[in-house]
């Protein structure tokens, strides 16, 4: 009944704590849940209208306004000019606006973007994989992602220029 | 017990053996160590053969205290009761995970009223994924491991180094006891008696005038085997929450389309979906003549592909390799390397995939050639004979908004519409605009001819025309499949089998031991088993009969609790 027994006891207890802790953490904050404010923004790998693949990593160090939209969705169309205006205002100050289109084909999106004179990066999500990862249900939904990759704010529904400006200012400060 | 442990008593037996703190019966000779116990004539407490459990020790520190907490059977029982109550609470209303598509924050209130809302607010709508439920499972697991270790090691030690000559009090205070005179010398008698005992299947150890006979010791390990099985079972249940270990999703596969299965490297093509309905006379009485259709059989001819290269690069088409083919029916899934794909539902709404219209000269009626127009992914430019058709606009679900502008209502190709700019011989230099609705019904509904007449200031010189259904590619239906991966299921079965093995070991055999010693021509016999006392008394009675001692089975009973 010497030191070796105590060591074994400690090892077993530590193993239980490690296994149990991992089980609880992975179950409660794990894959099943939608991302929430404060959690890490899920990564994606999507084709942009520029023909290149884009992921979250390439915007590292920048604050991201991630807008999920569709050409058929009225409020999305209405908030596009506001997003474009903010993109022009903030693009040199380490803020990037990214639009993720929900499941439409390239031509529909391309035509729309050309007609609206949108110049911020627009990505296509034909299989709605990013949509699923971000747990989007109503469109538009906008995620404000801070420089460290954490979700600062989730906005459901249409954004107007003033709110958007305020949100981005908060995002840059955070 | 704790007080005794703290009191740090002298645990040396009169036989000279030094026992660990917490020992009840001397590890060597079986003499009770407590003064009080020695004066009693009650039947002995034989649990773990009177050995100290591992957790019983002097001066417990913090680690010992945690260890002792989990090694307590009482705590284990409380943990199990709490888990049972928790599981019961989770069954009051359906769990969130049983629905495919609901918003739980409103669903429970709308469906079950205030109680539903309270239930949701308490987090009971996802009981089995909650931190407290998993914590309870982890604690039960800890209790299982520590309880087992705490008992199995001392028990193993006690049983593997048993002293044959036991203290008199140890024998007379067993539940099965016999005392009486014998004839002949002690050594001879002991040798003689070993033959009938061996015949009963016992292993016999002799030490001069003392004898120990033992059988079915392995049944003592039954409970610990059950614990090992339960630990494997619990680990498997917990592992289910890890990414990639279990998946359960429902996906619609339109006929003829290769679709990616999210979170896997697999793609599936629904080659053909068929559904057969019951005819009126096959249906039960109550369904007849009510216009109801009951599907008899639905099945999906599916081909499974695995991506071999360029899987995550959206700029390239993934390279696919066919890995499996199966006709999926209800309860007859496609299975491939742990992936199971079940038939779940279907939707018979046809969707237009492609059309191959011909460019027709309106004056001469001459067919100038045809091209294939993919509804989902059309090209920008088509060339037909001397003409080029540039696709200017595309609407999936055509409609006119409040400002009179064409828009798309949904992303689904319910009413696809295309605006072409056609250039070529005998056409204006900046081309001719032409609106095209591939679906005949939309052509009429949205007045294609009127739109084109307006765009061109009169009937256009050219038009697009689909000649018959041969030039139309339609996906007739969508098959909904349930895609499941469950990598932990084999471990659940292994755990359950080990539990079963442990139950069999513990239930069908009993560890039986007989000790006897002869002092001055008097035989003292004591016997112990963990259950079926009737059986062991009967065996002893038969053995003694061989030695010409007629002892009634019942008279061997020395009292104590019987089970």
The reported pLDDT for the residue numbered B488 is 87
CA gap B276, B421 in Å, rounded:
45
Phi, psi angles (nearest 5°) of residue B212: -125, 125
How many Å lie between the alpha carbon of B348 and the closest alpha carbon of chain A? 21
Between chains, do B138 and A24 touch, taking CB under 8 Å as contact? Answer: yes
- A132 reaches B (C-beta below 8 A): yes
Confidence of residue B563 (pLDDT cuts 50, 70, 90): very low
Residues of A in contact with B142 (CB under 8 A): 13, 16, 20
Nearest CB neighbour to B314, from listed A27, A46, A103: A46
Between chains, do B314 and A45 touch, taking CB under 8 Å as contact? Answer: yes
Between chains, do B135 and A24 touch, taking CB under 8 Å as contact? Answer: yes
| Pick among A16, A70, A121 to test the B interface (most B CBs inside 10 A) | A16
pLDDT tens digits, residue range A106-119? 888 888 888 888 88
Closest-CA residue in chain A for B251? A127
pLDDT tens digits, residue range A33-55? 677 777 888 888 888 888 888 88
Instruction: Measure Cα distances from B536 to B11, B197, B286, B419, B517 in Å.
Output: 32, 12, 65, 96, 18
Phi, psi angles (nearest 5°) of residue B280: -50, -45
How many Å lie between the alpha carbon of B314 and the closest alpha carbon of chain A? 5
Between chains, do B315 and A47 touch, taking CB under 8 Å as contact? Answer: yes
Residues of A in contact with B146 (CB under 8 A): 12
| Pick among A27, A77, A80, A113 to test the B interface (most B CBs inside 10 A) | A27
Confidence of residue B100 (pLDDT cuts 50, 70, 90): low
What average pLDDT does the segment A142-152 reach? Answer: 86
- Half-sphere exposure (CA, 13 Å, Cβ side) for B253? 33
pTM across the whole model: 0.68
Task: Name the token pair of B193.
Answer: 């008696």
* Buried b / exposed e along B345-373 (16+ C-beta atoms within 10 A): ebeeeebbbbbebbbbeeeeeeeeebbeb
Closest-CA residue in chain B for A132? B262
CA gap B51, B157 in Å, rounded:
9
- The DSSP call for residue B336 is E
Between chains, do B392 and A111 touch, taking CB under 8 Å as contact? Answer: yes
B4 has pLDDT over 50: no
Percentage of chain B lying above the pLDDT 90 cut: 18
Residues of A in contact with B66 (CB under 8 A): 13
Between chains, do B396 and A72 touch, taking CB under 8 Å as contact? Answer: yes
Instruction: Check residues A136 and B215 and name the one with the higher pLDDT.
Output: B215
Nearest CB neighbour to B241, from listed A1, A23, A52: A23
Nearest CB neighbour to A12, from listed B145, B314, B395: B145
Task: Indicate the SS3 state at residue B403.
Answer: coil
Nearest CB neighbour to A132, from listed B103, B149, B262: B262
Between chains, do B377 and A106 touch, taking CB under 8 Å as contact? Answer: yes
| Pick among B411, B415, B416, B419 to test the A interface (most A CBs inside 10 A) | B411
Between chains, do A47 and B394 touch, taking CB under 8 Å as contact? Answer: no
What ipTM score was computed for the predicted complex, to two decimals? 0.71
pLDDT tens digits, residue range B463-498? 888 877 778 888 888 889 999 888 888 899 999 999
Sign of CA dihedral A24, A27, A31, A35: negative
The set of long-range contacts for B258-264, using a CB threshold of 8 Å and a minimum separation of 24, is: B258/B305, B258/B320, B259/A127, B260/A127, B260/B318, B261/B483, B262/A127, B262/A129, B262/A132, B264/B339, B264/B483, B264/B485
Residues of A in contact with B139 (CB under 8 A): 20
pLDDT tens digits, residue range A52-94? 888 888 888 888 888 998 888 888 888 888 888 888 888 888 8
The reported pLDDT for the residue numbered B1 is 46
- A38 reaches B (C-beta below 8 A): no
Q: In chain B, where are the structural domains located?
A: 2-158, 164-216+522-556, 246-351+478-486, 357-465
Between chains, do B146 and A127 touch, taking CB under 8 Å as contact? Answer: no
- A108 reaches B (C-beta below 8 A): yes
């Amino acid at each position: 009944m010497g030191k070796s027994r105590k060591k074994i006891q400690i090892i077993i207890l530590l193993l239980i704590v490690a296994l149990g802790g991992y089980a609880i953490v992975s179950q409660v904050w794990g894959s099943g849940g939608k991302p929430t404010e404060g959690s890490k923004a899920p990564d994606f790998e999507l084709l942009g209208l520029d023909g290149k693949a884009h992921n979250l990593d390439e915007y590292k160090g920048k604050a991201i306004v991630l807008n999920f939209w569709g050409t058929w969705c009225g409020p999305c169309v209405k908030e596009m000019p506001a997003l474009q205006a903010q993109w022009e205002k903030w693009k040199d100050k380490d803020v990037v606006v990214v639009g993720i289109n929900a499941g439409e084909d390239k031509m529909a999106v391309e035509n729309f973007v050309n007609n609206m004179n949108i110049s911020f990066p627009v990505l296509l999500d034909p299989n709605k994989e990013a949509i699923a990862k971000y747990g989007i249900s109503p469109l538009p939904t906008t995620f404000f992602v801070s420089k460290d990759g954490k979700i600062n704010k989730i906005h459901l529904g249409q954004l107007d220029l003033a709110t958007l400006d305020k949100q981005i200012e908060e995002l840059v400060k955070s | 017990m704790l007080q005794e442990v703290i009191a740090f008593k002298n645990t040396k037996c009169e036989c000279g053996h030094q026992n660990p703190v917490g020992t009840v019966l001397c590890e060597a000779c079986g003499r009770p160590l407590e003064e009080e116990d020695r004066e009693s004539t009650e039947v002995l407490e034989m649990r773990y053969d009177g050995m100290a459990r591992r957790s019983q020790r002097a001066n417990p520190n913090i680690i010992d205290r945690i260890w002792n907490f989990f090694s307590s059977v009482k705590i284990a029982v409380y943990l199990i009761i709490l888990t049972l109550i928790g599981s019961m609470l989770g069954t009051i209303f359906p769990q969130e995970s049983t629905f495919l598509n609901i918003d739980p924050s409103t669903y429970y209130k709308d469906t079950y009223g205030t109680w539903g809302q309270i239930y949701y607010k308490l987090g009971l709508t996802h009981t089995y994924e909650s931190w407290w439920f998993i914590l309870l499972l982890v604690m039960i697991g800890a209790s299982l491991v520590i309880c087992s270790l705490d008992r199995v090691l001392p028990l193993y030690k006690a049983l593997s180094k048993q002293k044959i000559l036991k203290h008199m009090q140890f024998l007379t205070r067993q539940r099965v006891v016999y005392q009486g005179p014998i004839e002949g010398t002690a050594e001879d008698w002991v040798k003689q008696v070993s033959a009938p005992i061996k015949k009963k299947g016992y292993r016999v150890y002799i030490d001069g005038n003392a004898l120990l006979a033992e059988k079915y010791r392995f049944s003592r390990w039954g409970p610990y085997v059950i614990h090992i099985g339960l630990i494997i079972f619990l680990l498997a249940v917990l592992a289910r929450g890890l990414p990639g270990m279990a998946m359960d999703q429902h996906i619609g596969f339109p006929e003829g389309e290769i679709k990616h299965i999210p979170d896997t490297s697999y793609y599936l093509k629904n080659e053909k979906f068929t559904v057969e309905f019951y005819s009126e006379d096959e249906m039960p009485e109550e369904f007849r003549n009510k216009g109801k259709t009951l599907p008899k059989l639905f099945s999906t001819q599916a081909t499974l592909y695995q991506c071999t290269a360029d899987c995550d690069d959206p700029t390239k088409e993934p390279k696919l390799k066919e890995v499996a083919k199966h006709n999926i029916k209800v309860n007859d899934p496609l299975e491939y390397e742990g992936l199971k794909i079940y038939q779940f539902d279907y939707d018979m709404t046809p969707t237009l995939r492609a059309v191959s219209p011909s460019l027709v000269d309106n004056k001469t009626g001459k067919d100038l050639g045809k091209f294939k127009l993919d509804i989902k992914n059309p090209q920008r430019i088509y060339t037909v004979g001397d003409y080029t058709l540039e696709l200017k606009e595309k609407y999936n679900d055509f409609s006119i908004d409040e400002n009179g502008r064409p828009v798309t209502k949904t992303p689904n190709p319910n009413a696809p519409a295309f605006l072409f700019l056609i250039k070529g011989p005998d056409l204006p230099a900046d081309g001719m605009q032409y609106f095209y609705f591939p679906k005949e019904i939309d052509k009429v509904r949205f007045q294609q001819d009127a739109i084109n007449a307006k765009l061109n200031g009169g009937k256009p010189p050219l038009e697009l025309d689909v000649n018959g259904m041969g030039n139309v590619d339609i996906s007739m239906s969508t098959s909904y499949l349930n895609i499941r991966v469950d990598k932990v299921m084999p471990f659940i079965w292994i755990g359950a089998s080990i539990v079963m093995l442990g139950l069999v070991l513990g239930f069908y055999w009993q560890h039986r031991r007989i000790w006897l010693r002869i002092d001055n021509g008097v035989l003292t016999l004591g016997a112990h088993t963990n259950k079926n006392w009737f059986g062991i008394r009967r065996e002893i009675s038969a053995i003694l009969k061989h030695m010409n001692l007629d002892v009634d089975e019942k008279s061997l009973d020395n009292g104590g609790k019987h089970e």
